[in-house]
Structure 1
């Protein structure tokens, strides 16, 4: 037994001596020594440990190894420099790029391209303009598509205007992979240079092999800003002859051009578009029978209304009000009604009351009327609340009676069927009135009191929180910015959409609000990154991204 203990003691001592001879594993010097090892696996292990420790002082030793490293060792050296994140490493990284590398699936080729990709991504993260020339060359010439993607993304990150021409070329290259085109469009948006407007405009409308570039191009257009508006005004007016001819030749509906142009001009706040947008509220394709419902025409009218709402175009209220009361398609009518809410002027209330009361008597779901009831509860005042309570007392008899007056029957069975139908319709009205009353009750409690509405942002009812956000935008008090920006994180979409709109209104009209919003940008950026890929927030967070861009643009331009 004594011999066993003696042997165990010798083994432990040997391990300790060995560990001490290798050095402290948490000290960079321990692993820098291993970089000169003949065994590539030891070198890779040393590089991995240096990346773990992340001491910037070890960058010099890794750069020295990168000059002679090959294969897996070279790739890991680049990854370690990426983790260390030192701009001093840029020359060594540029020297390590292999230009002219072929595309292929053999191990050596794949490794070379993976290393080039890693270098390109690292250069973008380091943000040094010294990397731009090499990245432009990779974007143009690299045979591997993933290397080209990494290069164009990094050019966008660095933001050097020298890259605009190359990125325009890649974005519009019809022989390029579509996902590379998309990344180049995004990079042009990140640069924000107005020189890119022709390429962005082309990618807004062009499609290839069933792939649309509109999502990337529309956001890039917003990033570039007001300079995009001029050519899109021409498109909206139907006066871009070259684009019209291209659309006709490629079987693209001209209505698609108007739909996209309206959306972007609304986002940009381009008020010169207002007369054309009002005109498009009654758009019908030339030469088409007026009695035929055209889906594209509905979308032209719909997007015109959305844009007018974003522009808060009070001059559009009569046209929107008329459209809301005459449109039979429920989804489009709801958009008209919501546009009136976005404009925020209570002169729209009579239109919404009429819209809520009129609809197809054969539609027992009251689909066409619901959006008007909802909009009325978002914009209504104390008189609307009184009307709401009157309706509560009179329903369901009021709607059932009105419905029966529009019915026809020839016998008792027909009358009974009509009564059953109208009763179902009336019950749907009762349900809609009940579901949306909370917004109006909240208005009765707060009216023009900003502090009251700020408190309502914490209400347990999402519809009350939504109304609170809307009213804070209408009232225009800069002190609401902080609470509104907190509401941008609301898990329910209704208050979140309303908070985005109201924050936009406030920062656009108040320097104090803009200053307060700037303080919330880091949290806003973190939220966008955190929620990326979450389906529930996908659409609302496109608006959130635009809000962040707008705050920064207003700050650059002095409000």
Structure 2
């Protein structure tokens, strides 16, 4: 290979001035090897190849210039964007992106209106690689292209440019089944400036709640402050979106706000509960404290979540809460103890089966069944009592 490389690089410069059909045929067969010359930076020869009659040679020459990455090639490649062959034009656009020089922006912007969708897609991708804000307007316009490939590349490019001017248009794609993923990642790349506009958009279009939450998750800690504020938004879907994103982002800062959000309506509660469960054991201490809150609904939510998380250290505070004055809280605590499955709660649950409130007594009986509490040492009347409670709550199907 070394010998071929030496011969090829010696012959190549001599081909430039005198192109004959024979030499063009040779170049066609050599086309796959054109990349070899990049180390030698034979820019003039490669630029000359952009004019060869064979489109394959022109494509490979453009690709080679892109790999060399010399800004002096921008002019010839910009001219090659007018090539009669669509694949040669696409190769020229790709090369300009690889070079990454801002001089290539305007020719590539013009290529966004090329009659061939492949060329337009390559131009959009190249503009993303260059990352210049001059391209934001044209790329935003390309989001309305008739071909999904072009629209997707334009969305990806806007994410790489990271200009806030593209946020509104990208949010509009969150409801687009074809381009939702590209829009999510593009907005995530833009980052914190996109957070408030996304939350505002959810209030106007509830259908984008889940993709918006995923976008906010990807933005990460930069979004947490705005998400905490969004838990107090007047629109329930905004609160749901914020709660879901916060649980996926995690961190101590989101725990207390999520616990408070758990007292919201059922839809918001379900997202907040899921989020707190995802965060896991870091939520245990705040939830234990919430068992003593003045709000019975908050106490119930805390008990249910502690049962989901499944940490053994919560058995004692839950058992203590079986004596709460509110029967709904006691019932929720009994259910949580059943979910934990710890036999240490057996005596307390047994006592709770005699609770004056039917819901509490039934919940305690079910909990005893779930933890497989030993009954061989219990008086027969207690065993019978538990069995009756169990049957009352879980009839034969």
Within 5 Å, give how 1:143-182 maps onto structure 2: 143-171=115-143, 173=144, 176-182=146-152
Corresponding residue of 1:372: 309
Could you tell me whether the CA contact under 8 Å between 1:117 and 1:146 is conserved in 2? yes
1:80 is displaced (CA, Å) by 2.8
Corresponding residue of 1:492: none
Secondary structure of 2:62 counterpart? helix
Q: Structure 2: how far apart are the matches of 1:258 and 1:68?
A: 50
Unaligned runs of 5+ in 1: 1-22, 102-111, 239-243, 285-295, 360-367, 378-382, 409-417, 429-559
Post-superposition Cα deviations, 1:145-196, rounded to whole Å, max 9, x if no partner, equal 221111111101111111111011112x1x5222322221111111111222
Secondary structure of 2:153 counterpart? helix
Structure 2 residue 222 is matched with structure 1 residue 268:
yes
Corresponding residue of 1:49: 33
1:396 is displaced (CA, Å) by 4.8
CA distance 1:221–1:397, change in 2 (3 Å)? same
Structure 2 residue 273 is matched with structure 1 residue 333:
yes
- Higher relative contact order (CA closer than 8 Å, sequence separation 6+): 2
Q: Structure 1: how far apart are the matches of 2:68 and 2:267?
A: 64
1:184 to 149, 154, 157: 154
1:29 to 2, 10, 18: 10
Structure 2 residue 91 is matched with structure 1 residue 137:
no
Could you tell me whether the CA contact under 8 Å between 1:255 and 1:297 is conserved in 2? yes
Mark the structure with the bigger radius of gyration.
Answer: 2
* Aligned Cα root-mean-square deviation (Å): 4.6
Corresponding residue of 1:127: 100
Could you tell me whether the CA contact under 8 Å between 1:138 and 1:147 is conserved in 2? yes
Q: Structure 1: how far apart are the matches of 2:267 and 2:152?
A: 41
Corresponding residue of 2:163: 193
Within 5 Å, give how 1:46-445 maps onto structure 2: 46-98=30-82, 112-139=85-112, 141-171=113-143, 173=144, 176-204=146-174, 206-207=175-176, 210-211=177-178, 213-235=179-201, 238=203, 244=204, 247=205, 253=207, 259=213, 268-277=222-231, 300=241, 302-303=243-244, 305-306=246-247, 309=250, 312-313=253-254, 315-316=256-257, 318-319=259-260, 333-339=273-279, 346-351=285-290, 358=303, 371-373=308-310, 376=311, 396-398=342-344, 425-426=370-371
CA distance 1:221–1:30, change in 2 (3 Å)? same
Q: Structure 1: how far apart are the matches of 2:57 and 2:267?
A: 71
Secondary structure of 1:143 counterpart? coil
Q: Structure 1: how far apart are the matches of 2:301 and 2:345?
A: 11
CA distance 1:341–1:196, change in 2 (3 Å)? farther
Could you tell me whether the CA contact under 8 Å between 1:44 and 1:76 is conserved in 2? no
Q: TM-score, normalised by structure 2?
A: 0.65
Post-superposition Cα deviations, 1:215-240, rounded to whole Å, max 9, x if no partner, equal 3223322322333234334345x3xx
Q: Structure 2: how far apart are the matches of 1:90 and 1:407?
A: 82
1:277 is displaced (CA, Å) by 1.4
CA distance 1:312–1:29, change in 2 (3 Å)? same
Q: Structure 1: how far apart are the matches of 2:345 and 2:126?
A: 61
Secondary structure of 2:140 counterpart? helix
Q: TM-score, normalised by structure 1?
A: 0.48
Q: How many residues align?
A: 332
CA distance 1:274–1:142, change in 2 (3 Å)? same
Secondary structure of 2:247 counterpart? helix
